[in-house]
Structure 1
Amino acid sequence: MSQKLVIIEPIGISADEAQALKEKYLPDDVEMVYYETKAKDAEEQAARLKDASLVMLANSPLREDALSKGQDVKFLSVAFTGVDHVAMDYCREQNIVVSNCSGYANEAVSELVFGLAIGIYRKLAACDEAVRSGKTRAGLLGLELSGKTFGVVGLGAIGRQTAKVAQAFGCKVLGYNRSKKDIEGVEQVDLETLLKESDIVSLHVPLTAATKGLIGEKELSLMKPSAILINTARGPVVDTAALAKALTDGTIAAAGIDVFDGEPPIPADNPLLKAPHTLFAPHVGFATKEALAKRAVIAFENVSKYLQGQPQNVMG
């Protein structure tokens, strides 16, 4: 029996590249439809799901109101690491198997962490402005990563890669994880100790009920006044209002943020936009040519393995 794969939004590769991957990884009798634009709303998503048994998506929310219209959907290949944008409870109820693409952006995200950290430490935005406006280096004394204590919250694949790079910069690395991880060069401590002792705190946890608001007013108050917070994980892991206040009050020195409570564009009333000592990116941590190419391969491999009755990267 033939099956239909619908890629309901762009996944960072062209239609021709998608077709090449389809031919490499999937049986000839699988029909594929690739939408190269995002759906305007849930109704358009539902229309795209018509007759699809296999679905591929990136990071657009796919909620029950749209997913329930896809009567034939049996498998979702999520071309992303996190799946908090998918109606997972509904998928469990309907026995829809969901696989993610964990691992594709380990290098991309970890490299952005250090881009943000160095951007803050070396005041790169101010340096750029100084050159453009005919100023000198006056007032632009920076800091070095070497010798600093670098705290990694969440020691999954991206957290471990971040810890590895931090060591290469000459940092002492502390790690916090729910379960014990044996990682060379990383001293695993409790969260309170990590926050108190780290000069840089980098977040690498998924968004779950347990991690929502993980870093709030109490946690920020434990950090050094000279410390910086880097968030390339998920926006709601940090209490936005509490972080804005901590930056304004000088509770911590600065923050580098790639993820927010919602996808950019960020509402003008977001308190972080008025907070001092910030460096922002519009959720680009995963967005490199290399990472998107790796992601597409994993997404198609997920479909292939599912069709073979051996699903991989399955999310609970």
Structure 2
Amino acid sequence: MHICLLEPLGIDSTILHELSQPLIDAGHSFVAAHDKSSNPDELIRRAQGADVIMIANNPLPGEVIRALPQLKLIAVAFTGIDHVDVSACRERGIAVSNCAGYSDTAVAELSVGLAIDVFRLVAAGHAAVHTGGNSTGMVGREIAGKTVGIVGTGHIGTQTGKLFAAFGAHVLGYARHENPQATAFGIQHVNLETLLEQSDIVSLHLPLNETTRKSFGEEHFARMKESAIFINCARGAIVDNDALAVALNTEQIAGAGIDVFDMEPPIPADYPLLSAKNTIFTPHVAYLTQEAMIRRAHIEFENVAAWLAGTPQNLCEI
């Protein structure tokens, strides 16, 4: 089998060699790209003759998938697969695997970190020190004793709830199907309306699909407390971000910490959310830690090896 890694995985070349060598020793060929490309023609060139292609979060359009007649597996080093044209995969019977779980800790930690930043005015304090200011107007809030609402109690949502609970928060959860692990930990599942109305911090942890796209909007922000903040380290397209900007600028809610947008950064200067009040931004880095990059690379190569051995794992429903 010919295996092509179409983009870097953010790991040291020594680790990449260690992970790919068993495939080569088993008689498979392996090539790896050293940079990203969004050009379909270039991606097709790189993947010529591939039975298996490996990617991270670089978009993989249908025209690329349809141009690779030998392709049988797309191994994605990411949790979500919304950047892959799964309709083209269905047409061709191509399997898709993901690396669910690799970034649970990383995303959960940034979700809590953004909440702390908003509550304790960290960015504003940083700016004040650099501009000769002081603590005037810097009265923050504590997480301890607050109610945190986790929208989506999967692995990442549950891990986020655990971290908030460690700060002394009461944690509510909402999911279409309750996660027994979340319940066992002590996350109290309630309906979405109750969660929004009672929470001081609302943290979003849903996957992006056709059901969830733009599913969180004006009516949801209207139910939140005026003192509440909103955290999104999931997917930007789940949220009506124009409605979020309005809710922030009209002080319908008190603040937000946002890692994801309707597009990948860089974000256009006229994007309404960028000028919203009391909002902290990071450029889609929730998953991006040294530990998570190594973890996902191991999982992705394990997925490929398992598929080649006839015992596939982490296959996605498409």
How far did residue 275 of structure 1 move? 1.1
Task: Report the counterpart of residue 78 of structure 1 in structure 2.
Answer: 76
Aligned to 1:6, what secondary structure does the other structure show?
strand
Aligned to 2:89, what secondary structure does the other structure show?
helix
Task: Report the counterpart of residue 278 of structure 1 in structure 2.
Answer: 279
Task: Report the counterpart of residue 112 of structure 2 in structure 1.
Answer: 114
Aligned to 1:226, what secondary structure does the other structure show?
coil
How far did residue 180 of structure 1 move? 2.0
Measure the CA separation in 1 of the matches of 2:24 and 2:273.
Answer: 45
Task: Report the counterpart of residue 151 of structure 2 in structure 1.
Answer: 153
How far did residue 133 of structure 1 move? 2.1
How far did residue 126 of structure 1 move? 1.1
Q: Contact 1:49 / 1:67 at 8 angstroms: preserved in 2? A: no
Aligned to 1:161, what secondary structure does the other structure show?
helix
Measure the CA separation in 2 of the matches of 1:114 and 1:65.
Answer: 39
Task: Report the counterpart of residue 212 of structure 1 in structure 2.
Answer: 213
Q: Does 1:135 align with 2:136?
A: no
TM-score between the two structures when normalised by the length of structure 2: 0.97
- AA aligned to 1:235 is G
Q: Does 1:265 align with 2:263?
A: no
Aligned to 1:255, what secondary structure does the other structure show?
strand
How far did residue 89 of structure 1 move? 1.4
Task: Report the counterpart of residue 296 of structure 2 in structure 1.
Answer: 295
How far did residue 142 of structure 1 move? 0.4
Task: Report the counterpart of residue 310 of structure 1 in structure 2.
Answer: 311
Measure the CA separation in 2 of the matches of 1:233 and 1:40.
Answer: 23
Task: Report the counterpart of residue 123 of structure 1 in structure 2.
Answer: 121
- AA aligned to 1:190 is N
Measure the CA separation in 1 of the matches of 2:179 and 2:77.
Answer: 27
Measure the CA separation in 2 of the matches of 1:145 and 1:214.
Answer: 27
- AA aligned to 1:157 is H
How far did residue 28 of structure 1 move? 2.9
Task: Report the counterpart of residue 165 of structure 1 in structure 2.
Answer: 163
Task: Report the counterpart of residue 34 of structure 1 in structure 2.
Answer: 32
Task: Report the counterpart of residue 230 of structure 1 in structure 2.
Answer: 231
How far did residue 14 of structure 1 move? 3.2
How far did residue 93 of structure 1 move? 1.8
- AA aligned to 1:217 is E
Residue correspondence of structure 1 range 44-63 to structure 2 within 5 A: 44-63=42-61
Residues 75-118 of structure 1: per-residue CA shift (max 9 Å, x gap): 01100000000011111221111000000000000000011000
Measure the CA separation in 1 of the matches of 2:13 and 2:293.
Answer: 14
Measure the CA separation in 2 of the matches of 1:251 and 1:135.
Answer: 28
Measure the CA separation in 1 of the matches of 2:81 and 2:24.
Answer: 23
Measure the CA separation in 1 of the matches of 2:24 and 2:272.
Answer: 47
Q: Contact 1:15 / 1:34 at 8 angstroms: preserved in 2? A: no
Unaligned runs of 5+ in 1: none
How far did residue 161 of structure 1 move? 0.4
Structure 1 stretch 146-155 or stretch 87-96: which is displaced more? 87-96
The alignment of Structure 1 onto Structure 2 pairs a total of residues equal to 314
Residues 35-89 of structure 1: per-residue CA shift (max 9 Å, x gap): 0101141111111110010110011110101111111110011000000000111
How far did residue 220 of structure 1 move? 0.7
Q: Contact 1:82 / 1:100 at 8 angstroms: preserved in 2? A: yes
- AA aligned to 1:126 is A
Measure the CA separation in 2 of the matches of 1:114 and 1:24.
Answer: 39
- AA aligned to 2:218 is E
- AA aligned to 1:158 is I
Task: Report the counterpart of residue 197 of structure 2 in structure 1.
Answer: 196
- AA aligned to 1:221 is A
How far did residue 15 of structure 1 move? 3.3
Aligned to 2:221, what secondary structure does the other structure show?
helix
- AA aligned to 1:96 is I
Measure the CA separation in 2 of the matches of 1:160 and 1:30.
Answer: 39
Q: Alignment RMSD, CA only? A: 1.1
How far did residue 24 of structure 1 move? 4.1
Structure 1 stretch 31-40 or stretch 143-152: which is displaced more? 31-40
Measure the CA separation in 1 of the matches of 2:66 and 2:25.
Answer: 27
Measure the CA separation in 2 of the matches of 1:8 and 1:136.
Answer: 49
Aligned to 1:290, what secondary structure does the other structure show?
helix
